[in-house]
Amino acid sequence: MHDAHVQPRPLGGRILTVPVAILTVLTLVGFYYIAKRYFFGIGAVANVNPGYPWGIWVAFDVIVGPAIGCGGFAMALLTYVLNQGKYHPIMRPALLGGLFGYTLAGVAVMIDLGRYFNSMNLLLPWHLNTNSIMLETALCVMAYVAVLWIEFSPAFLERFGLSKLRKTLERFMFVIIALGVLLPTMHQSALGTILAVNESKLSPLWWTQLLPVLYLISAVAMGYSVVAFEATLVSRGFRLKSELPLLSSIGRIILWLVVAFMFIRIGVIVLNGNLGLAFESTRAALLFWVETFLFGAAIVLLSTDRLRRTERYIFLSACALLLGGTFYRLDSYLLVYTGSPGWRYFPSVPELMITIGLVSLHVLLFILFCKLLPVLSNPPRQAAEAHAS
Amino acid sequence: MSIDRRAFLAKSFGGFAAGTTLAAGEAQALTLARPDKVASPDAVGILYDSTLCVGCKACVAACKAANGAPAVVPATLADWNQGEWDSAEDLDGRTLNVIKAYVNGTREVKDRETDGFAFVKRHCLHCIDPSCVSVCPVSAMQKHPVSGIVTNDKDACMGCRYCSYACPFGVPQFDLTQAYGRINKCEMCGHLQAKGGIPACCDVCPTGASLFGKLTDLQKEAETRISLPAGTPHDFPRGRLGGDRPANPGQTANYLKKVYGEKDAGGTQLRYIAGVPFDKLGLPNLPNHSFAATAEGIQHTIYKWFAAPVVLFAGLLALTYRSTRKGNGGAGGDAPHSSEKS
């Protein structure tokens, strides 16, 4: 391993670039509507209604967001649990993605909660309902956000030269890392179990008692995909050396996860005799095929060694899988959810702007942290390919 | 699909045997669900007889008055109605009870599916094994152990609306018009019952279409009505079943031979009888088991004695300890400072 490859360092450079400016504006627009929501209520900005009590703030920000934030979880699984030290260089950026994915999901929850002050009750033992899967997800999210900040804190400590504290932290970091795998395992599977109660409101193309298994597998696959996605964009965007060899081996893992996911999902549908539903002319059937196409595309794009060694195909497969996993979640939570008769839901512009604002904030903070803190460890492309200039 | 085929499948795909077996188990309707809960012997309820309802909506007005709920005016009616006339079209954050109409073709005959019409009253069905109580993370939704009434405690509720999302009938409603709203739902006028009264909707109903009483008595009354041939003379009690109010003499209608809510979704304490199929009235076709039982069964299978997370955590600790201490590939916690180990 190259020495230059192991020491993460701040990228430096100009802070105020065009992308940063655009992202800041979008974030501010989002925050304007967030303020409006707090002053005038959810109904003043969102189109959620008596028939569809959950909209995109839940389905996208709280359900899809953390799945896209599974990079840190998935890479910790590989780097520390399976002890594959070679993945270290992409550990920190993966963690950073997870840090914001989960933290901003927590922020989104506080926007969507109608009686947010009472969320304190989640910490009062006499209020807890251990039958509630929402309780599990809420406690796991809170704990995991704390764990992610501790997991990422060495970047701050290194930046500000607090090496003594850094060493103390090192001693019990293995506990934090173990929690950093346990909590998202529980949380991501529970996001599937949340839907278990909706047997009558969800098409059998999605509803099964194995929802927690499917949600967990697809979340880990999305975690690896987002690492491949981010790493490609980062090396291109910041003109750094590519992490292709590492991404190729990750591609192999993604492949088997998607195959397992599809095998179980389609297997359950076939064994329960529900495959016919996929051939009706319904929105559910259409969305089922959109998902199947995207997951299938990810499998095909990763199917051979040659494809997995090509940056473009890894990137495309990661995109397909992230989209597929996103659709799987949006569909099961919202797009094929059976609301009360006579009601429809389509997000309003202010509602969308809040979601867009939070996504912009995620990307904005990711860029700023990469510039100011030791996150990335790829050498600049010119240094790596000096002769190529 | 035969058992043999499934066994064969499980064998042929050794690597996925576990998944396949689970899936096959599901195919055989082997469920992880816990047993459904049963009604308290002293449970109270409401019997709504769609054939008796004349659609006067006195119950909607009485409900609003009894529960201090403001009038709701749809945007389409706002130009001639400034709120002096409550015109709620469906349940919402300010409407706990609503009367809706089914209409078909020429709308000639009441309680007939074709070319007919019918009324239906919609509010909380007070499920015997309710999804809303099961899913509420902060125990704001409660089912009274004796009366079986399902209530929401606004001081516990954090407004996540999982109860609305999970209710098979779409009942609990968050008031989205307020900056800091709350869940509103029919609580069977518990405050009136505490003073010896009955739910406002049953109290005000002129025909006895909404009838309050002990759940077991209401079920018997419902079974009697649907078992009688159409046109049989029958005294229809009003207000409270077994109360002292004079009954309305009348004739039985052409009932469907089903009491909706007896078994649907594990049973409910609001029960319906009608002349028009229930799904036409907006009451969904549901299996005869509780959804809470399924969801809790899955959750408590995964987390039995909390063993799985503990074992998983112990294993993770061992592995992360090894990879952060031994100085091999993953050495050095978050950052690979291989020099630190010496």
Stretch 178-197 of chain A: residues touching chain B, C-beta under 8 Å: 178-179, 181-182, 185-186, 189, 193-194, 196-197
pLDDT at A387: 44
pLDDT at residue B75 in the model:
83
Residues A266 and A276: their CA atoms lie apart, in Å, by 12
Reply yes or no on whether the pLDDT at B331 is more than 80: no
Say if residues A226 and A218 touch (Cβ distance below 8 Å). Answer: no
Flag if B168 and A201 touch (Cβ within 8 Å): yes
Cβ separation A118–B157 shorter than 8 A: yes
> Is residue B102 a contact partner of residue B280, using CB atoms and an 8 Å limit?
yes
Mean pLDDT of A8-31: 95
Residues of A in contact with B134 (CB under 8 A): 129, 131-132, 197
Amino acid, single-letter form, for residue B108:
E
* Among candidates B20, B159, B338 on the partner chain, residue whose Cβ is nearest the Cβ of A115: B159
SS (H, E, C) chain B: CCHHHHHHHHHHCHHHHHHHHHHHHHHCCCCCCCCCCCCCCCCEEEEEECCCCCCCCHHHHHHHHHHCCCCCCCHHHCCCCCCCCCCCCCCECCECCEEEEEECCCCCEECCCCCEEEEEEECCCCECCCHHHHHCCCCCEEECCCCCCEEECCCCCCCCCHHHHHCCCCCCEECCCCCCCCEECCCCCHHHHCCCCCCHHHHHCCCCCEEEEEHHHHHHHHHHHHHCCCCCEEEECCCECCCCCCCEEEECCCCCCCCECCCHHHCECEEEECCCCHHHHCCCCCCCCCHHHHHHHHHHHHCHHHHHHHHHHHHHHHHHHHHHHCCCCCCCCCCCCHHHHC
* Domain architecture of chain B: domains with CATH: 44-294 (3.30.70.20)
pLDDT, tens digit, for every residue of B145-163?
999 999 999 999 999 999 9
Structure tokens at B65: 């008055």
Given an 8 Å threshold on Cβ–Cβ distance, is A210 in contact with B139? no
Query: Which pLDDT does position A199 carry in this prediction?
Result: 96
Distance from CA of A181 to the nearest CA of B (A): 8
Give the residue with greater pLDDT, B277 vs A239.
B277
Percent of chain A residues topping a pLDDT of 90: 88
> Which chain B residues touch A268 with a CB distance below 8 Å?
23, 26-27
Question: Above 50 in pLDDT, residue B10?
Answer: no
The yes-or-no verdict on residue B84 having pLDDT over 90 is no
Q: What number of C-beta contacts closer than 8 Å exist between A and B? A: 273
Q: What is the pLDDT of residues A177-233, one digit of tens each?
A: 999 999 999 999 999 999 999 999 999 999 999 999 999 999 999 999 999 999 999
Could you state, in order of their start, the residue ranges of all structural domains in chain A? 3-370
Among A75, A184, A202, A81, smallest CA distance to A140 is for A184
Tens digit of each residue's pLDDT (9 = 90 or more) over B12-29: 343 344 444 444 444 445
Q: What is the pLDDT of residue B27?
A: 43
Q: Which band of pLDDT confidence, cut at 50, 70 and 90, is reported for residue B327?
A: low
B294/A132 Cβ within 8 A: no
- B100 near B120, Cβ under 8 Å? yes
Contact with chain A for residue B327, Cβ under 8 A: no
Contact A80 B323 (CB under 8 A): yes
8 Å CB contact of A83 and B160: no
The predicted structure's pLDDT at residue B7: 43
CATH number corresponding to A3-370: 1.20.1630.10
Average pLDDT over residues B235-239: 97
Confidence band, pLDDT 50/70/90 cuts, at residue A156: very high
B340 touches chain A (CB under 8 A): yes
CB–CB of B20 and A267 under 8 A? yes
Instruction: Judge whether A245 is closer than 8 Å to chain B, CB to CB.
Output: no
Which residues does chain B have within 8 Å of residue A182's beta carbon, measured at their own beta carbons? 309, 312-313, 316
How many other C-beta atoms lie within 10 A of the C-beta of residue B287? Answer: 14
3-state secondary structure (DSSP) of residue A380:
strand
| Residue from B32, B160, B328 whose CB has the most chain A CBs within 10 Å, to mutate | B160
Tens-digit pLDDT profile for residues A77-121: 999 998 888 898 889 999 999 999 999 999 999 999 999 999 999
Q: How far is CA A88 from its chain centroid? A: 20
Compute the nearest-CA separation of A173 from chain B (Å).
Answer: 6
Looking at the predicted structure, is the pLDDT value of residue B3 above 50?
Answer: no
Q: Is B336 on the interface with A (CB under 8 A)?
A: yes
Q: How far apart are CA B74 and CA B88, in angstroms?
A: 7
Q: Give A291-343 pLDDT, tens digit per residue.
A: 999 999 999 999 999 999 999 999 999 999 999 999 999 999 999 999 999 99
- Is ipTM over 0.90? yes
DSSP structure class, residue A52: -
pLDDT at site A89: 87
Checking if the pLDDT of B339 tops 80, the result is no
pLDDT value of position A379 = 80
pLDDT band at A65, cuts 50/70/90? very high
pLDDT of res. B6 = 42
At B30 the pLDDT is 63
- Structure-block tokens of residue B158: 């954090």
What pLDDT score does A6 carry? 62
List pLDDT tens digits, range A232-249.
998 888 888 888 999 999
Query: What are the phi and psi torsion angles at A333 (to 5°)?
Result: -90, -30
Query: Are the CB atoms for B243 and B232 separated by under 8 Å?
Result: no
